Amino acid sequence: MKPNPKLSRPARRAVLVVHVTASASWLGLSLGLLALGTTAASSGSAVTVETSVRAMRLFADWLLIPVALLTLLSGLVLSLGTVWGLARYRWVYTKFWLTLATTTATVFALRPGVNSAVTAVAAGGPLPDAGDVLFGPVVSLSAYVFMTAISVMKPWGRTRRGKRTSGFA
């Protein structure tokens, strides 16, 4: 079995900067969404609720998906182009699957929940369910903080595959 081609040092550093920046952006967007969702869920002002959920929709429609995909793509390039590999270390494998899961949840749960909240509030009704604007940001923020922590600590060691291919690392 031939080892994966590795990125040159300048290429690895460039991709790492992109990955860290995109990941930090995703975490920041989630924190912003949580602040807006909390404001919408706790405000007694219809104008404040509508403004908050409309701002959430801007984040969800224009920023979250590109940032999520950039994070996923740059993480894949880093894992496949460095000694870490995609399935050699448990922490890398865990980050990959969590990133894939949170990207999917953003597309199929968070965005539709925010959009339904905007539709209801724009029609003059109350916020239908505070969970629509709070649950997604809470879950995603928790996942991103966890992924940041395991990126720094690199726990758990190698996977079975990583142990078999240790000569290539």
pLDDT in tens, 25-69: 999 999 999 999 999 999 989 999 999 999 999 999 999 999 999
Q: What amino acid occupies position 111?
A: R
Mean pLDDT, rounded, of the chain: 91
Q: Which of 62-71, 79-88, 130-139 has the highest mean pLDDT?
A: 62-71
Burial 28-57 (b: 16+ CB within 10 A, else e): ebbebbbebbbbbbeeeeeeebbbbbbbbb
* Percent of the chain residues topping a pLDDT of 90: 80
Averaged over 92-121, what is the pLDDT? 94
3-class DSSP state of 167: helix
In terms of phi and psi (left: phi > 0; alpha: psi -120 to 50; beta: otherwise), the region of 33 is: alpha
pLDDT bucket at 149, cuts 50 / 70 / 90: very high
Contact 132, 110 (CB under 8 A): no
Q: What is the pLDDT of residue 36?
A: 97
What angle is formed at CA 47 by the lines to CA 44 and CA 52, rounded to 5 degrees? 90
Residue type, 55: A
Average of per-residue pLDDT across 102-122: 94
Question: Does the pLDDT at position 9 exceed 70?
Answer: yes
Looking at per-residue pLDDT, the higher value among 87 and 47 belongs to 47
What does pTM read for this prediction?
Answer: 0.87
